[in-house]
Amino acid sequence: MAETAGAKETVLARIRAALDDASEVGPVVRTYRWHDDRERAAIIAELVDRLRDYKAHVERIAPAALPSAIADACARHGIRRLVAPADVPAEWMPAGVEALRDDPPLANEALDESDGVLTGCAFAIAQTGTIVLDGGAHQGRRALTLVPDRHLCVVREEQVVGIVPEGITRLVEQPTRPITFISGPSATSDIELSRVEGVHGPRTLHVLVVETART
């Protein structure tokens, strides 16, 4: 647009004029922690701890127990219609639960009328109890984990990192994906500062932490 082109040049000209006699700034020194030195066991334990702090349901299970754990979680939370990304393994989907695969993409109404969604994750950050989704394997598009009221999330132990910088490093390879950081159910303290959980987004988060398979 001609109008916007003028605006861009004006703003850039203003910036250059503003910085005309500005002194140079020093280099950015990064002496904060980049790496978590703790043992894996401690890191995984912290993730579980922090998730429970957020009132998420957390279970640690062996790989072979994953399908039954998912089935139990569905029963426990009353999930009869379960949304899942197209690439979620068939073994994960419980019998007796209606599977709503996102291929072709489900309409918003279908998501709204479902009982829950099952996904994997990109990785998890122990220090902050954060699960990160980036639309990669077993995660699907963002609306799937937003509209249904219950989210069952599979986290493999190898996917757990200790601190935030380690997590960001995992994303740097493909930074332009749509990424969501989830740290507990949504919350507000806007009414007299009483914290109320579950404003928008899933009000139930159930995390299945799968132990590393022993060879």
Partner 1 sequence: MVAPAHVGPLPAFPEAAKTALADTQLRRNLAKATTTIRSKRGNVVGELPDWEELRAAGAAIKADVMRHLDRYLLQLEESVIHAGGQVHWARDAVEANAIITGLVQAAGAERVVKVKSLTTDEIGLNAALRRAGITAVETDLAELIIQLADESSSHILVPAIHKNRSEIRDLFRRTIARDEDLSDEPQQLTAAARRYLRAQFLAAEVAISGANFGVAETGTVAVVESEGNGRMCLTLPRTLITVMGIEKIIPTFQDFEVFLQLLPRSSTGERMNPYTSLWTGVTPGDGPQTFHLVLLDNGRTQVLADEVGRQALHCIRCSACLNICPVYSRTGGHAYGSVYPGPIGAILTPQLVGIERAKTLPYASSLCGACYEVCPVKINIPDVLLHLRGQITAHAGALNPEAIVMRQLAAIFASPKRYERAQKLGRQGQRVFMHDGVIDHLPGMLAGWTHARDLQALPNQTFREWWRQRQRENERASEGGREKEIG
State the residue for tokens 């997590």: 167
Judged by beta carbon, residue 67 or residue 135, the one nearer partner 1 is: 135
Record the tokens describing residue 214, joined without a space.
Answer: 């022993």
Minimum CB–partner distance for residue 60 and partner 1 (Å): 21
Minimum CB–partner distance for residue 115 and partner 1 (Å): 16
Minimum CB–partner distance for residue 23 and partner 1 (Å): 7
Which residues are bridge partners to 133 per DSSP?
180
Q: What number of CA atoms fall less than 13 Å from residue 35's CA on the CB side?
A: 2
* DSSP-derived 3-state class of residue 188: strand
CB 207 within 8 A of CB 155: yes
Judged by beta carbon, residue 69 or residue 131, the one nearer partner 1 is: 131
Judged by beta carbon, residue 20 or residue 39, the one nearer partner 1 is: 20
Judged by beta carbon, residue 97 or residue 133, the one nearer partner 1 is: 133
C-alpha–C-alpha distance, residues 90 and 51, integer Å: 27
CB 131 within 8 A of CB 182: yes
Amino acid at 62: A
List of residues 6+ apart from 208 with CB closer than 8 A: 59, 61, 66, 69, 70, 73, 152, 153, 154, 155
Minimum CB–partner distance for residue 100 and partner 1 (Å): 17
Minimum CB–partner distance for residue 132 and partner 1 (Å): 9
Judged by beta carbon, residue 69 or residue 150, the one nearer partner 1 is: 150
Residue 118 parent element (H or E): strand 116-119
